[in-house]
Every structure is written in C-alpha cells, then in structure tokens.
Amino acid sequence: MANQELHIDAHFSGHETFPLRQMWLKKAVNSADKHWVVSKETFSDDNAIATFGVGRNMVSSIKHWALACEVMREDASKRHFVISEIAKEIFGDSGHDPYSEHPTTAWYAHWCLAGRGRRSTTWFWLFNILNAQTFTRDEVMPTLAKFAQSISAGKKLSQATLARDLETCLRGYAPRSASSSVEEAAEPMLAELGLIQEERKGVYSFRRGPKSSLCDAFFAWALVDFWDTHHAGETSLTFESIAYGVGSPGRVFKLDEESAAERLFSLSSLTDGRLKWSDTSGLRQVYRGDFDVSNFKRVMMEKWYE
C-alpha cells in the first residue's frame, strides 16, 4: 500500500512522554462548557494545573491524547476545541462509560491510535508496519526512522524524538514493572488490553490471540471504519484484507487467523445482514449492503456496553 493511501500524517510528539492514563480523556471532556466547547487557553492558562489536577506537562499530555483519541477536535476558528459526538456518548456524565472502566473504551482509544493513527504515527507503525513478533527498541528504531522519513515530506526528524515516541508507545501497553514514580506506577489505559508484553528487560513481543475483552460489536464497528478508510466504495473485502491488511482489525487487534475468522462468522446476525460472511469455493469474503454508516456505527456502539 502506497504511503499516500495510509491517511496518516507524521506526528511524533505532544504527549510529553506520558502514556495515556485511564481518567485523562474524561478530564478533557469535563473541561468543556455546556456547549461542549473547550477554549484552547484551558490547557495553557494559569488555572490549568488546578483544572486538571496534574502538573503542567501532564496538562499538555491530556490535550494531546484527547486529540489523538478523537475525543476533541479543533473548530473552524482554530481558537477552540469541540468535543466529538462519540466522546459525548462515552465520557459524558450520563454516557456509557464516563470513568473508562469498560474494556471497550480502551479498545476504542487503541483503535484511534493504532488503527487510524492520525496523531500517533509510531502506534500505527508498530501495529501495522512492523513485522517482527519479538523485538527490542534498538532493533526496530532503524525501521521506524525509515518509515517516518517516508511519510514526513522531507522534514528532518530527530532520532531522539523518535526514540522518545517509541518508548512512550511501548510503556503505554507494557508499563515498567517497578518504578519509584507514583505516576509511572499508575496503570496506563491500554495496558489492560494485553497486546504487548515485556518478556524480559527491553525485549517486547506481541500477544496474538482471540482477545476475550474485545466485543464483537466493536470489531464490526472497527471493520466498517477500516473499510471506509482503506477500501471506500468496495462492496466486498477478502478475509486476507481483514485479517492482515495495513490498518485492518485483524492486524491492529493482533488476532490470530482462527480468532479473526470466528468474529466474521457471526457478523450477519450481529449486523442484521448489513455485513455477511461468505466462504464459497475457497473464496472467503465479507459483503456489505447499502446502509447508513453513521447509523450503523451508532447501533453497534449501543451494543459495546451491553
């Protein structure tokens, strides 16, 4: 797949080296006014530390993660952020999961970072481009640097910046087991997903398998999101595309082949026939009907938290 088809920009900073914490997305939503608007000054004025209850660098990190997880976006005036519809549904006071206690909320954040990768290039690269099953940071840094250069339109990228980004990414999924810092010891939001483990000091591996905390409705939601991003206009997708394609649910969720297939078997009943699995003459495909994608995603989301 050519880089211009990846729909991602080169973005390797903003988190201040803090992995995403469980309550940070909620803190961003809580900073909005009654119209779901957040002034940009909220993250930089003298009251920011009191507003968010964390240090100034962490305030910047909260802003970064809220943007990267598409909890908020910049408005047309460029002076404000607006809370997204999906964030209202999840993190609003009467939302489905205001305190990020349900695993699907973490899966959603992971999908934004590693599946969409719009402000999280290293996350996208780690789950979609890197082919190693077991690796160290030093081993994969040249691969990351090469990928980063290929999508950065000639901009010079600092090796130190890339190294910090990779370190932050890995600690978000496999936190350090022992740390003197209370903030470091707090469990990152994505660690509960069990996608990456640190086998021994500095050696990481992906954990491929069925992912029991990943509900079928979120898999279907992510499948349609992937479909419309990478295969817009196509009425069918092959099993290989869904299980192994760049940006695909199978790849981003690190499902093994059998687990990916099992998810697809139940699609028709789950989606009332909007998505249908077919396995005829050795050709394994999913077909989609003509449906309103926004409504489909809303219906699937209602099932996330059942």
Domain ranges in the chain? 3-206, 216-304
- pLDDT of res. 180: 45
Distance separating alpha carbons of residues 8 and 61, to the nearest angstrom: 20
Q: Answer positive or negative: Cα dihedral of 183, 186, 190, 195.
A: positive
Q: Which residues contact 165 (CB under 8 A, 6 or more apart)?
A: 12, 13, 15, 121, 122
Architecture of domain 216-304 in this structure:
Orthogonal Bundle (1.10)
- pLDDT of res. 4: 35
Mean pLDDT split into 10-residue runs, the chain, 306 residues:
56 94 96 96 94 94 97 94 97 94 97 96 97 96 94 85 96 75 69 95 96 98 97 96 97 97 96 95 93 96 94
DSSP-H helix ranges across the chain: 24-30, 48-52, 56-68, 85-91, 103-110, 121-128, 137-151, 159-173, 182-185, 216-230, 239-244, 249-252, 257-265, 267-270, 293-304
- pLDDT of res. 8: 72
Q: Which residues contact 219 (CB under 8 A, 6 or more apart)?
A: 249, 253, 263
- pLDDT of res. 3: 38
Question: Interhelix angle for 137-151 vs 121-128, to 10°?
Answer: 110
